């Protein structure tokens, strides 16, 4: 059973739809006990960093999320991936979950169209990341974001080129994973990545 944390952010039904399609059991929840009882946790999210951290704080889930991420597979998606880091600078400086060292700031280049929206090709940085199992080498996934993660190269399992290298999939080497793209909206490749996560 995968707990998809429902803290009012974005289109969480698509994550559930994708897991249903794969035949993976999941539940949308903000209940602490359900999150603790689950085999794995997904933190989805669309919106702004400070707003999302505020909602997580209001739900009283920050401590639970931090604790569970140390003992079972944890996947942050899009904004959920950004929240994994220590700090965000969207509008104002804001404390993140601090599961992986690093911070989140604007994709800053005057020549680029922002948001980075559409399909971009994954470049593998760490082929041992289990979420990349069985991919084809021509793996396009769907992005929509205006901020990106800044973190040590050792946490970056895969990146895409957009003006500079943009971390696409991060992994702490243990239980914590983060996808800047939307695997639930990335066709076959995205479903394969979600299946890999469910198989952990």
Give catalytic residue positions: 78, 182, 184
Burial class (CB in 10 A: 0-12, 13-18, 19+), 62: middle
**Is the Cβ of residue 56 or residue 100 nearer to another protein in the bound state?**
56
Q: Does 17 bind another protein (CB under 8 A)?
A: yes
Closest CA to 171 of 118, 107, 124: 124
Q: Does 144 bind another protein (CB under 8 A)?
A: yes
* Length of the chain in terms of residues written: 200
**Is the Cβ of residue 22 or residue 200 nearer to another protein in the bound state?**
22
Residue ranges in 26-55 that form contacts with another protein under rule CB under 8 A: 46-48
Residue ranges in 64-123 that form contacts with another protein under rule CB under 8 A: 113-121
Q: Does 191 bind another protein (CB under 8 A)?
A: yes
Q: Does 188 bind another protein (CB under 8 A)?
A: yes
Select from 13-21, 27-35, 59-67, 91-99 the region that touches another protein (CB under 8 A): 13-21
Token pair listed for 136: 């084809």
Smallest separation, CB 70 to another protein (Å)? 30
Strands (E), the chain: 2-5, 26-29, 40-43, 74-77, 85-88, 94-95, 100-106, 116-121, 123-124, 140-145, 147-150, 156-162, 164-171, 176-179
Q: Does 148 bind another protein (CB under 8 A)?
A: no
Residue 33 falls in which region: left (phi positive, over 0), alpha (psi -120 to 50) or beta: alpha
**Is the Cβ of residue 11 or residue 126 nearer to another protein in the bound state?**
11
Question: Site for another protein (CB under 8 A): which residue of 68, 90, 172, 184?
Answer: 184
Cα radius of gyration (the chain): 15
Alpha-carbon gap, residue 137 to 141, rounded angstroms = 12
Interface residue list for another protein (CB under 8 A)? 10-11, 13-14, 17-18, 20-21, 46-48, 113-121, 134, 136, 138-140, 142, 144-146, 160-162, 184-192, 195
């Amino acid at each position: 059973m995968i707990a998809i944390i429902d803290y009012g952010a974005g289109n969480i039904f698509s994550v559930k739809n994708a897991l249903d399609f794969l035949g993976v059991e999941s539940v949308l929840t903000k209940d602490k006990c359900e999150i603790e009882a689950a085999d794995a946790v997904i933190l989805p999210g669309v919106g702004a960093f400070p707003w999302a951290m505020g909602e997580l704080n209001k739900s009283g889930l920050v401590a639970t999320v931090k604790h569970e991420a140390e003992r079972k597979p944890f996947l942050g998606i899009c904004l959920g991936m950004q929240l994994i880091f220590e700090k965000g600078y969207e509008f104002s400086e804001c404390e993140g979950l601090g599961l992986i060292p690093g911070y989140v700031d604007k994709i800053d280049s005057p020549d680029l169209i922002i948001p980075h929206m559409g399909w971009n090709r994954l470049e593998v940085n760490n082929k041992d990341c289990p979420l990349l199992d069985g991919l084809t080498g021509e793996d396009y996934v769907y992005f929509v974001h205006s901020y990106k993660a800044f973190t040590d190269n050792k946490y970056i399992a895969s990146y895409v080129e957009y003006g500079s290298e943009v971390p696409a999939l991060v992994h702490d080497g243990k239980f914590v994973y983060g996808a800047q793209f939307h695997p639930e909206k990335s066709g076959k490749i995205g479903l394969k990545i979600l299946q890999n996560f469910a198989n952990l």
